[in-house]
Amino acid sequence: MAMASPTSTSRGIVAAEPTPIELDWTATALLIIDMQRDFMEPGGFGETLGNDVSQLAGAVPPIAALLKAARASGMLVIHTREGHLPDLSDAPPAKVERGAPSLRIGDPGPMGRILIRGEAGHDIIPALYPLDDEIVIDKPGKGAFYATELGDVLQTYGIENLLVCGVTTEVCVNTTVREGNDRGYRCVVIADGCASYFPEFHQAGLAMIKAQGGIFGWVADSAAVLKAMTPDRSNRVAAGASR
């Protein structure tokens, strides 16, 4: 890969695994997957499936830091939300009937109907709430490309690279990264900006992405991305030297 000149301000080298990756920030979007109350808070979809939702809290501060930096730099920010129409017409029976949750998709819960658009539980958590001018993609599946306008949005904005974070690592983050990789996007997954109800699945989910020379993408810590986004000559030299 060609390296940017050290004085370039629109590009940066992220200290990622399995290799550093140079990104053109003008062709990069921050993609925040499903940071919704339904997954993050008690009484939502995640908990009805039997999960300990407190496992996900650690991803919030790193995402908040990236979101702040992205907003300050003018980077495209895209939020996604998993959920279904109130009449469940976009929810396959095979998904609704799945498993033995305490409440099924569409059932009334303490934050409104489980995983239904427009309900309180479906909304994004206050700490990461989208600004009015940010893009929010509603998705019926685990992947953010399936049955959504995401592909068209990325094409419209000339996006080639995705900084992917959110929940959960092995479900909606992994599915979206696999979809994005097949569509030609360089996906850099933010290790500390993702989380799973199962810590071992978080680790495995990241390992699968970066194995085999980065078979699905790259993995980096939020600090490495923030450092690469900082237009500081010493950072660029340091990142370049670590290659």
- Relative orientation angle of helices 233-241 and 222-229, to the nearest 10 degrees: 130
Instruction: Kindly tell me which of 39 and 185 has the beta carbon lying closer to ligand TIU.
Output: 39
| Of the candidates 39, 140, 145, 142, the residue with the CA atom closest to the CA atom of residue 91 | 140
* Residue in 123, 142, 165, 172 annotated catalytic: 172
168 near ligand TIU, judged by CB under 6 A: yes
Instruction: Kindly tell me which of 22 and 179 has the beta carbon lying closer to ligand TIU.
Output: 179
Judged by CB under 6 A, the chain residues 183 through 202 that form the site for ligand TIU are: 197
Gap between the Cα atoms of 109 and 37, Å rounded? 12
Q: In the bound complex, what is the minimum distance in angstroms from residue 101's beta carbon to ligand TIU? A: 10
Judged by CB under 6 A, the chain residues 106 through 165 that form the site for ligand TIU are: 142
> Quick check: is 34 catalytic?
yes
* Residue in 38, 139, 192, 194 annotated catalytic: 139
82 near ligand TIU, judged by CB under 6 A: yes
34 near ligand TIU, judged by CB under 6 A: yes
Residue closest to ligand TIU (Cβ): 172
> Quick check: is 221 catalytic?
no
Gap between the Cα atoms of 127 and 241, Å rounded? 36
- Annotated catalytic residues are 34, 139, 172
Interface residues with ligand TIU (CB under 6 A)?
Answer: 34, 39, 49, 82, 142, 167-168, 171-172, 197
